[in-house]
Every structure is written in C-alpha cells, then in structure tokens.
Chain A
Amino acid sequence: MLTGNAAAAWGVRLAEVDYIPVYPVTPQTEIIETLAKWISDGDMDSKLVTMDSEHSMITAAGAASATGVRAFTATSSQGLMYGFEMLYTVAGWRVPLVMVNVSRGLSSPITLEPDHNDVLAARDSGFLQIHCETCQEVLDSLLMAYRLVEDEQVLLPVIVNMDGFYLSFTREPVEVPELETVRKFLPPYQPRHAFFKASQPMAQGVAVLGGSMYSYFKYQMHLASQNALNVYKEVCGKFEKEFGRNYDTIEGYMLEDAKYVLVMTNSFSTLGKAAVNKARERGIKAGLLRLRLIRPFPVEDITGALKGRRAVAVIDQNISIGKGGILHSEIASCLYNEKQRPHLLSFIGGLGGKNISPGEFEFIFDNMIKVRGVEGEGEKTSQLLYTETEWKEMARLKGIAGKG
C-alpha cells in the first residue's frame, strides 16, 4: 500500500533520476522527503538540493536538464505560481524535465485542499500534462512521462498531476515494478540537442529579435506538443506490453452505449464512476469520460468519445473567474464543428476539495436528461455545485463572523 506521494517517489527512483532540486510545500513534501531519505541511505544514486524557492528550483532543474542529466522536481499550488515565469522559460529550452504537481487550491483564501486552478494555469506554458486518478497511475505515469518527453520528436517538459490529500495522502495497493523491467522500458537519457561540454560550446536560451523568429520557435513547441500525441500512443503500447497496464489519452467508463456522459479529471473521477453506477441502477444510460492527457489536448480522441451522445456534462474542478469552467471551454471547442454534437452542460464542483455528493451527481444527470432545444444547444453558463446543507453551514459561519 502506497500513498500517491510515495508512488511518485517510487516512479522517480525507478526512473533512476540523476538530479532533484526541491522546495517544500504541502501536500507535496512527502515526495521530496522520501527521496531525500533514500538518497541519504544510499538506496538511490541521485543528488538532491534544497533550493531557496520554487523559482530557483525549476531553474536549477531545467538548467541541469539542459546540461544533459535526467532531472525531477515537484511542487504544488503556491509553489507552482511562484515558479511560473520559469515554466515558460524551461519549456522554451526544450528540455525533457519531469515535474509532479500535487494540486491544491490557490490563495486567496489560502487553503490546503485540491482543485485544478494551479495546474491548469500552466496549460499554455509548453509543459505537457498528464492527470492521474490512482496511486498506481502516478507511478506508472512518471515512467511513461520520461519516455515520452525524452523522445526526440517531443523534447518538452511535462507535469504529472495528482490531487492533494485525496490522492497524495491516500493509501492504495500499488504494484512496484522491477528495476530491470523498467530499464527495458526506459533507456538512459542521452541528449543530442542540449548539453554543455568544453569541446562543443553551445548558446542556449538565447534572445531573438522580432516576431518572425519568435513565432518560429513558439510554433515549433506547439508542433512538438502535437507530435507528443502520436508518441504517447507508442509509449502507451510499449508500457502495456511491459507492465500489462494500459493508459490511453482518455479513459472511458461505461461509455459504449452511454447517452449521458460526465467529463471529469483526476481523483474525483472515482466519485463520478460511482455516480455512473448509481445512475445505471436508476435506468439512466450514464457513462464517464476521464481526461488524462490534457496537454497536448487529444482533440480527436475526445471528439470521437463524445459525438453522438445526447448530453455531456463537464465537471470542472476549477474556475476561470469571469468565464466559468476551463475544460468546458476546451471541450466545447472540440465539438463545435461536429455534426452530431451533444448538448453540453458545465458544472463547477470540488473547488478547494469540496465534496461532490451523490445528490449533486443526481442533479447533474437530471439536468442532462431535461435539456431540450435545438440540436447542439446547451447551458451558456457554468453552474456551481453546492448543497443546501453546505449553504446553511456557510450562513452559520457568516453569522459567527458578524456578517449574518
């Protein structure tokens, strides 16, 4: 039995990572403490350095990667924000850095429990993003991540994401693969594009003047990210062959004949799957689509999975203030040109780790069934999932605060 954090640490250990600059932040810290202990005990041949901030940490990790070692780092929420400038910078260096983000709601108000505003804020940076539901998936995704981004057609950094508390601190049975098997799947990193050595001076991260050069390099990153879709499928196949577990870009749950589909990500998808089971008991043809690879966005896979359904409800565990659910917008853009596009509904749920209760899922399915109107029409705004009990409790707290 391993927590999500311990599973991440095992992934790093098995990938035989050379270099790990770190900085503590809840709920990620257990990962770096686990690695530090292994290194101190001689179980892992890596160097770990405690940096002065996440900004420095991501810089050091990226620079080490640009020098030619396999590097790892981890952060969460405030830390990701603090290092934000360097996400874009390191991605532009085209280095295959792997970073774990343990999702946590962003301040303010300051909180500890998860939602995805942190990781989704990084979605345009050039980092690829793999979002995990289970502890096993965290370990496996780390191995896949190195293989994916070290491929010469990709060479971009990647974030492997898990939810704080619900996954980071939850113990689940995890199969830890043998190092020998991992070595067969993941060969050592041998950079041919970015390194520093005396006999071959190289200028990296240089400035450009003017938009045509800038556009060229930026668009190259986009194309590399698009390449990652195909490379991902290959990596997926090889991983399944070696370890017997399959992780596609998306995961369908009871999708085959489903008319009403929930779209979710990360650990709360488990709640969604339970809700699908319940809905099926009520005779509703329910299903769930879990998004796993979020950058690059697997447009074709998603479109293929959702077209022709009667209604789709995207549950965003994030909120783009002033717009609504972030993934809802992205899903909508996939479906807009589809002839058989479903009604699309948008819900905001689980912000700051708020539970999504069975009643709330029922409400969503009822909404999907009720939706009428022109083909392709859905809700125009996002709805917040919030129960009456929660509302009353909040009113009580406001009373205590003198704002009743």
Chain B
Amino acid sequence: MEGNGEIEGDSRKGVKEMEIERIKSIKDLPPEENVLPGTPTCAGCGGLLALRHCMKALGKRVVIVNAAGCFTLLSIYPFTPFKNSWLYTAMACAPAGAQGIRDALDILVKKSRLDPEEDLKVVVLTGDGAAYDMGLSSTSGAIYRNLDFYYICYDNEAYGNTGFQRSGATPFASKTGTTPPGRISPIGSELPKKDLFEIWNSHKPPYLATISPAHPVDLINKFKKAEQYKGPKLFIALSPCPPGWGIDSSYSVKLAKLAVDTGIWALKEAVFGEVKHTVVPKRFKPVEDYLKEQGRFAHLFKPVRREEALNKIQEMVNEYWNRHKLLL
C-alpha cells in the first residue's frame, strides 16, 4: 500500500497526529499527472484544476466513485482521462458505491483472493448538488460507519451540469437558473449557503478540510495529513465555474484566490471535529472585490447598487471570522 502507516479509526481517543512531511512551495508539487488532458469540461473549470491537484496527491492506485454531475462526462465510452479506475453510480449514492467497493476489496484481501498489493484507495467524487442535497443521507451513512474513503466535493455552488440551478451550496444573492433576479425578487437566491463543513464535521470524521485550486500547496499538505487516518477523509473544494459564475475562463484561479482573500472561502481542516484554519489572510479584502468580477452577482451593482445585500454579505463574512476570533 502507498502512504504512511494507518491509524485505526476506532481507537479515536488518544490518536496522536503523525508528523508529516509538508511541502513548502509549488515547486514541491508532485510532478506526476494522473488526470490527462483532453476532457470535455469547460475551459477554466476550477473543479478540474482542484481534481488534478487532488489526484497528484492520491496517486494511481485509486478507484473513483462518481455521482451525476459535470465530471460524469470525464469518462465517456471508450475514453477516460484517468490512470486509475472509475465507477459512475447515480446522483445520490456515490458514497454507498464506495462502501460496496471498500468492503469488497477488504473481503477479497482477507479471504486471500486479492493480493494486498492490488488494493485501492476509494475516492468519491461529486459536485455540490450531490454532496449538499441529494447525497446527504448516503454520505452521512458512510461517515457514520467510519468507511475508509476519501470524498472530494467540487463545489461550484449550483447544479452545474444541468445549466446552473440553485443547490444547497448556492450563496445568498447568487443568480442561478432557478433564482433569476427580477422585479419581484431582485436579489436572486434569498437563502444563504448551507454549511456542509459543519454538517460533515458534526460526525467528527478523522479528517475534513476545505481546499482551493488556487492554494495547491495547502491542498497537497492536507491530503498528506489525511493519509495517516483510517476512516472518512473529506474535502470540499470551492470551484470557480466560468459559464455559471459568469467569468472569463482565464479568471478561475484569480477568483478562487479572491474567495480566500476576502474571507468568503475559509481554508480550514478538522481532525476528529477539532477545527483549525490553515490560511488566514493578513488583511481581508472587501467582498465586493470578489463579487463584482462575476456575472452571477452583476445585479447587485447594476442597474442600481443593492447596498443592503452587499452589506449583508460583508456582515456574514465578518461574523464568521469574528466568531472564530480571527478577524484582526
């Protein structure tokens, strides 16, 4: 098996974090590419960039279990961009597919029908629609059962594959296909984004983190740290989506970075429920810097400035960082 020695997830108390070898700069990123170019995703897809980094960290001995979403189209007969295995399930149940595969691999190894060298890491890959909404039950079940798996959620803050409709991950004031700003509802989505990190963290999984395609060093180090734990290792990647967010495809990384710099996307991790922020901007940029770049928030600026909505977004961000006593 690749990686460090595993720590049994069952004896949770008293588990000591292992010293891991951190990388320091992008020059140290693993050179191997496990997602090859030539996929049908949109140019500048932030999710694909995040996935590329994740797969550098995970290596080749992986089976990805996918739910319906944009990335389902990564593997279209007879092609796949992956060097690893793949199973497409359906929208709600990728974690249940991971349960079946993980259990089956364990059984085969235990009954000496599979060489332990042939074992695989089981990695769930879904969008936010599957993770925040329809797949919540199957994910909660998998975490509750302490399934030894990875979950990568690329969060583009809407149902992307169906053309960008509101999901539980859609932030307040976003325009989507089902929350179009209009005369009666000028703000777009009236509801704030669900806090999936806290929902998942309430299960106290061994490892949980938010990641960003604009922070590959942080991302890789989180995977390195996660590797030592047996049990659920969960990742949520804020993933700029050029067609849905209304940005130029060359802006994805800039937007992902702005999300962190404005404090909208908090980079953090939780080990058995204990939360720690991993990247805290020295000075937070105003959220407007992030919002005004995107077509999905354009109605907050034109034809009239929606001061109240803009303030509310800034206040939500301030409140978050105040609560964590990290607002300087």
Contacts and interface: CB of A to CB of B under 8 A. Distances in A.
Interface string B7-43: 0000000000000000000000000000000000000
Nearest to B80: A203
B103 A196 contact: no
B87 A207 contact: no
Contact of A64 (B95, B100, B119): B100
A392 B183 CA distance: 60
A93 B107 CA distance: 20
Interface string A8-51: 00000000001101000000000000000000000001010101
B138 A55 contact: yes
Given A197-B120, A205-B87, A206-B75, A19 B100 contact: yes
Main secondary structure of the interface of B (DSSP, over half): mixed
Contacts of B201: none
A67 B80 contact: no
Contacts of B89: 59, 63, 86, 89, 205
Given A49-B99, A208-B77, A59 B93 contact: yes
Contacts of A202: 85-86
Contacts of B118: 197-199
Contact of B93 (A67, A86, A199): A86
Contact of A201 (B84, B92, B107): B84
Interface centre among B86, B92, B97, B140 (most CB of A within 10 A): B97
Contact of A63 (B84, B97, B117): B97
A296 to B, nearest CB: 25
Contacts of A362: none
Contacts of B76: 206-209
A51 B82 CA distance: 29
B111 A52 contact: no
Contacts of B103: 19, 21, 47, 49, 60, 64
Interface residues of B, number: 46
Contacts of B88: 204-207
Interface stretch (B45-53, B57-65, B190-198, B232-240): B57-65
A353 interface: no
A56 interface: yes
B9 to A, nearest CB: 16
Contact of A21 (B95, B100, B137): B100
Given A51-B99, A64-B103, A207 B77 contact: yes
Interface string B165-193: 00000000000000000000000000000
Interface size bucket, A side? Answer: 35 or more
A238 B228 CA distance: 51
Interface in A221-279: none
A67 B108 contact: yes
Please list the 4 inter-chain residue pairs (A to B) with the smallest Cβ-Cβ separation, ordered nearest first.
Answer: A63-B100, A52-B141, A56-B96, A67-B104
Interface of A: 18-19, 21, 45, 47, 49, 51-53, 55-57, 59-69, 71, 85-86, 89, 93, 196-199, 201-209, 213
24 contacts: A18-B104, A18-B107, A21-B96, A21-B100, A49-B103, A52-B137, A53-B138, A53-B141, A55-B138, A56-B93, A56-B95, A56-B138, A59-B93, A60-B100, A63-B100, A64-B103, A65-B104, A69-B108, A71-B104, A196-B85, A198-B119, A199-B118, A203-B85, A206-B77
Interface of B: 60-61, 63, 65, 72-73, 75-77, 80, 82-90, 92-93, 95-101, 103-108, 111, 113-114, 117-120, 137-138, 140-141, 145
Given A63-B97, A66-B101, A198-B119, 10 more contacts: A56-B93, A56-B95, A56-B99, A60-B100, A62-B100, A65-B104, A68-B108, A196-B105, A205-B86, A213-B77
